Amino acid sequence: MDENTGSRPLEEGIVRDFRSNLSYGGYLHLDELLSAQVPLSTPEQHDEMLFIVQHQTSELWLKLVLHELRTACDDLAHDDLPLALKRLARVKNIQRTMIEQWSVLATLTPSEYVRFRGFLGTSSGFQSYQYRAVEFVLGNKNADMLEVFSDDQRATALLVATLDAPSLYDEFLRLLARRGHPVPDELLHRDVRAAHVRNDALVPVLAAIYADVEHHWDAYEACEELVDIEENFQLWRFRHLKTVERTIGSLTGTGGSSGSAFLRRALELTFFPELYAVRGQL
């Protein structure tokens, strides 16, 4: 530290020439990334930048969540439960970040939002194809959603791929069956393009795992990880709902949905119903 200026001199070994060396900004494509925040309001409203950054950041996190979940499905298909659990642990930490992130958008007051809301047109978070892909991987599949993205080849390709593939829960149940657990045959050979619905015959299979944790520890741990992921997802949905309520009240969404009423109904959805039902069987 230079006592006269208070500055810290650069160490001799620090790279300064990036004509041939890869820089931090180059590796991360920061020129492209940081030029993607383009407010549409006229005159430009200060708080629109918050709105854009919040949603772009969410999409980056969703990209990573999807990357981890799809790879976890592959791990389960190859009987590598420990590695799948490692990926699910990462997903849970990403989810916590995404849940807390709503507190930033909640600083946007109704009077601030209304100044640029009209410039959003019909764009809406409902149209997030990565969010839909995450729901598909977790088992909440709905082929009708493809129509919303019919004009976007990239989105359609991703959604068709996740619709056609077994969900995370499908792969976990198949792993249990390969280990000798009597998973109902109809679950092992179901139409993976359909949403999973509760199968009461699966509950005693899971109850046997919970009743003998010592011998089924990793399967038991996986069950609890899945419950954690669902709970985090519901907390994210709830924070989304409350942020929308405090910002637009009961107004309809920009994409044509009923707004907060639509989001409230989403709280009724569940990915792993038997993992909740088993708690009443122990």
Residue 113 known to bind ligand: yes
Query: How far apart, in whole angstroms, are the C-alpha atoms of residue 138 and residue 66?
Result: 10
Give the number of other Cβ atoms within 10 Å of residue 226's Cβ. 19
Name the residue among 89, 94, 95 with its Cα closest to residue 72.
Answer: 89
Structure tokens at 248: 């637009």
What gap in Å lies between CA 193 and CA 114, rounded to an integer?
40
The answer to whether the annotation marks 181 as part of a ligand binding site is no
Residue 18 labeled ligand binder: no
The answer to whether 114 is annotated as binding is no
CB 168 within 8 A of CB 73: yes
The response to whether 97 counts as a known ligand-binding position is no
Q: Which is nearest to 236 in space by CA: 142, 61, 101, 129?
A: 101
Per-residue 3-state assignment (H helix, E strand, C coil) for 118-187: HHHCCCCHHHCHHHHHHHHHHCCCCHHHHHHHCCCHHHHHHHHHHHHCCCHHHHHHHHHHHCCCCCCHHH
91 is in an annotated binding site: no
94 is in an annotated binding site: no
The verdict on whether residue 54 carries a ligand-binding annotation is yes
Residue 21, token pair as written in the block: 């060396």
- 127 labelled as ligand-binding? no
Q: What are phi and psi of 101, to 5 degrees?
A: -60, -25
Binding site residue list for substrate:
51-55, 113, 117, 254
Binding site residue list for heme:
240
Binding site residue list:
51-55, 113, 117, 240, 254
